[in-house]
Amino acid sequence: MADLSQDEWTKQLESDNNSVILDVRTQDEVNEGIIPNAINIDIYKGQGFIYELEELDKTKNYYVYCRSGARSGQACGIMNQLGFKNAYNLVGGFMAWQGEVAQQ
């Protein structure tokens, strides 16, 4: 797992052809906007979160974010334990995001 600033996260994501953006916020938070092309799996689903992660391709590089960066950091740790090699946490999360935002 690596904590990346928004600048690092965005630059790395732009040059990564094997990337997936993962939003681990709640549905209410997602309703406020989402980073384009992100998939949402709510970390608060507990075991359901683990089940949904297990269905993802572990060979991809995951760019993970939440509201502030705390839950996404936890999610990256869980992903590493499950065998995901590359999970990158967006420091500051969606609150600090300066890039494009899409509506669900």
Residues acting as catalytic residues: 66
Q: Please, which residues have CB within 8 angstroms of residue 50's CB and are 6 or more apart in sequence?
A: 78, 82
Q: Counting Cβ atoms within 10 Å, is residue 9 exposed (0-12), middle (13-18) or buried (19+)?
A: buried
Beta strands per DSSP E along 1-104: 2-4, 19-23, 39-40, 61-65, 86-90
